[in-house]
Amino acid sequence: MCKSKALLAKQVLIGFKIHNFVMKSVICNNNPMQFSKLQTPCRRAPVSLRPLPLRHTSRRTTSWVVDTASTAQADTLTVEQAKHAAGSEPQGPASSPSAAAAQQSGTFPWTQHWYPVAVVDDLDPARPHATHLLGIPIALWRDKQGAWHAVEDKCPHRLAPLSEGRIESDGTLQCSYHGWQFDGRGACTHIPQLRSDDKAHQVACASRRSCVRAFPTQIVHGLLWVRPDGSAQAHEEFARDPSPPKTAIKELLSGPEAEGYLQTTQWYARDVPMRFDTLCENILDPSHVPFAHHKVQGNRNNEKGTTTKVQGEVTADGFKFELDSLNPRFGVSTPVFEAPNFIRYGNPIRSLNVFAVPTRPGWSRIYVTFMKDTRLPSRLPWLVETIYGLVEKTTWLEHIFQRHPVLDGDNYILHTQERFLHEANGDWRRGYYMPAPADESVVAVREWFDKFGGVVPTCEPGTPLPPRLTKREALDRYSQHTAHCRHCQKALRNVDVATGVAAAAGLLAAAWLLARAMLGLPLLAPATGLGLLAAAAAGAAVAGLRALRQQFIFVDYVHADKH
C-alpha cells in the first residue's frame, strides 16, 4: 500500500513538472527573446506575463499578456490562444469556428470587430488627429490619394505622439520630434538622421522595429471605422473581403433594405466620462428616461410601470427586448443590442441609432443619429414634425438643444455611480437591487458582459478609474464635443463675431447719445429715443449671444430644478 501511494505521488509530481515545462515553453516561444541553452529558463513569469483574473466571466479564466519587443506592441492572449501562437494556425475572424468557440467560452474577440472613431466630416484632412480605441492611442490622417489611415500614436523611435506630426506632400505622416516618416501600412519610409548613409537607411527602414502598428480602416455612414488589429492577417482579411462592419446600419447601406429609409440628422459624437459597460447599461435602460430626462425626453409624471422583456436568448451576437413604449401613440417597440457596439430604439417610423465605443479607461464615446421610414405617415402632429425637421436640418441647433441636454442629464450620475460599483469590485449582482420588470434589459446586458464579454478592453480587472471629475468637468460640452464638431465650431465662431458686432453697435449708440448730451441737444427728441432703443437692443443682443455661447461650453444640469 505504501509503495503504491509513493508511486502515485511520484506520478503526480512528474505530471506537474511536465505541465510547468509545457507552460514555460508556450510563454517563452511567444517572446522574440528566445531562451538559449545557456540561458536560465524563466522560473516565474514577469509582470507582463502573469495571469490576469477576468472580471466578466462566470468561470475562472486566465489571460496572458505577452510583450513583443520587436513589434513594440502587446497582444492579450488567453492560454488557449497562446498555444495556437506557439505552434498552430492563428485565430481566424469573428465568423470563423475558432472565434465562435471563443465567444462561447467568454472571450469576446474585441479586436476582430470594427468601431467608429470619428465623424469624417469633422476631420481636417490637412492635419493628423488623435483618438483612442480599446485603450490604444491612435493617430488618424489622410494621404494624398484621399485614403484615411490609422496607426498607433507612438513613434517607434522615441515614442513621441505621431498625432502631433504633419502630413508630407507624398501623403506620409511625419513625426514632429525627429522627422521620421511613415506610410499608411506603418512602414518607416524616411529617417533624416541616416540621409547620408543609404545602406544604413535601407537597413533601418526595413527593420520591423522601425515600423508603427497600423490598423485597417473604412468609411461607412460618414463615419471612419477602425479594426484595432495590427496583424498582417487582419489587413489581408479586409483586402479579401472589404465588407461593411457587422454592426453597420443595414437600412443606410445600399440594397433592398435601404429602400425608403432616410438618415434625418447628422452624426452627434461626444466623449463621456464613464466606462464602456456603464454606458451600455445606461443606454439599454429605458426606465431612467422619464426621470433623468424629465421635460427633455420624457416626463416623470407619465411613468405607469415600464416593463422590458428579453425576447429569445442572450447570445454572443447580442439580444433584443420588448418595451412598452414611453409614448402610447407608438405602441410596443423592440430595442436591439448588436454586439459589440450598436444599439437601436424606436418604432417602425422613426428610430434612434447609437454606436457606443470604449476609448480609454473611464471614458467612452457615443455616436448618435436618427433615421425614419419615409414610406410611412408620421404619427406626430404636423407642427411638431415641422419643428423637428427644421431643428434636425440645423445641426448645431440639434446638438446643443436636443442631444447635449440628454447626456448632461446622465453624465455626472453615471460618472459617480460607477465609482461606487468599482469600490464593490464591480459585483453588480450584490451592488444593485432590481426588483422591477423594468430592469430586465439591464440584467441582460450585464449578463452579456459576464457570459461573453470576457476581459473588456479599458475595463480590465485592476484597471483604476481616473480621478473623479467635478460636475463642471463631467458636463464639459466644449472638450467632449464642440472642439471636435465642425458644425458647432463654425456656429461658435459666428456667435463670437456677432457678439463683437453687437457690442460695437452698442458702444456706437452710447457714444452718439453722449455726444448729443455734450452738445446740449434736447434729450427728449425722437433721435435720442432711437439712440436709447439701439443701445438697449445691442445690449440685449450681447446678453443673448453670450448665453447662446455658453451652450457650446458648459450648462449646469440641476435635476432638482426640472419641475
Residue 263 three-state SS: strand
Residue 54 pLDDT > 90: no
Spatial separation of the C-alpha atoms in residues 425 and 54, rounded to whole Å: 12
Residue 277 pLDDT > 70: yes
Residue 47 pLDDT grade (very low, low, confident, very high; cuts 50, 70, 90) = very low
- Report the percent of the chain where pLDDT is more than 90: 66
Residue 46 pLDDT > 90: no
pLDDT at 106: 59
The closest alpha carbon to 52, from 462, 543, 510, 542, belongs to 462
Residue 179 grid cell? 522627422
In this structure, which amino acid lies at residue 480?
Q
Q: Tell me the mean pLDDT in the region 171-187.
A: 98
Spatial separation of the C-alpha atoms in residues 499 and 396, rounded to whole Å: 18
Residue 90 neighbours by CB distance under 10 Å: 11
User: Which residue shows C-alpha cell 433592398?
Assistant: 256
Spatial separation of the C-alpha atoms in residues 488 and 122, rounded to whole Å: 10
Residue 522 pLDDT > 90: no
User: 323 and 286 in contact (C-beta within 8 Å)?
Assistant: yes
pLDDT at 525: 74
pLDDT at 412: 98
Spatial separation of the C-alpha atoms in residues 184 and 85, rounded to whole Å: 26
Mean pLDDT is lowest, of 64-68, 203-207, 287-291, 453-457, for 64-68
For the domain spanning 264-470, the CATH number is: 3.90.380
pLDDT (tens digit, 9 = 90+) per residue, 133-169? 999 999 999 999 999 999 999 999 999 999 999 999 9
Q: Is domain 115-240 in CATH 1.10.240.10, yes or no?
A: no
The closest alpha carbon to 137, from 238, 274, 273, 230, belongs to 230
pLDDT at 204: 97
User: Which residue shows C-alpha cell 507612438?
Assistant: 154
Residue 58 pLDDT > 60: no
pLDDT (tens digit, 9 = 90+) per residue, 105-117? 457 999 999 999 9
Residue 120 pLDDT > 90: yes
pTM: 0.80
HSE-CB of 403 using CA atoms within 13 angstroms: 31
Taking all residues of the chain, what is their mean pLDDT, rounded to a whole number? Answer: 83
Residue 402 grid cell? 436636443
pLDDT (tens digit, 9 = 90+) per residue, 388-436? 888 889 999 999 999 999 999 999 999 999 999 999 999 999 999 999 9
Q: Tell me the mean pLDDT in the region 524-529.
A: 76
Residue 54 grid cell? 477576468
Q: Tell me the mean pLDDT in the region 186-204.
A: 97
Q: Tell me the mean pLDDT in the region 79-96.
A: 33
pLDDT (tens digit, 9 = 90+) per residue, 318-334? 999 998 765 655 566 89
pLDDT at 517: 80
pLDDT at 13: 47
Higher-confidence position of 384 and 442 = 442
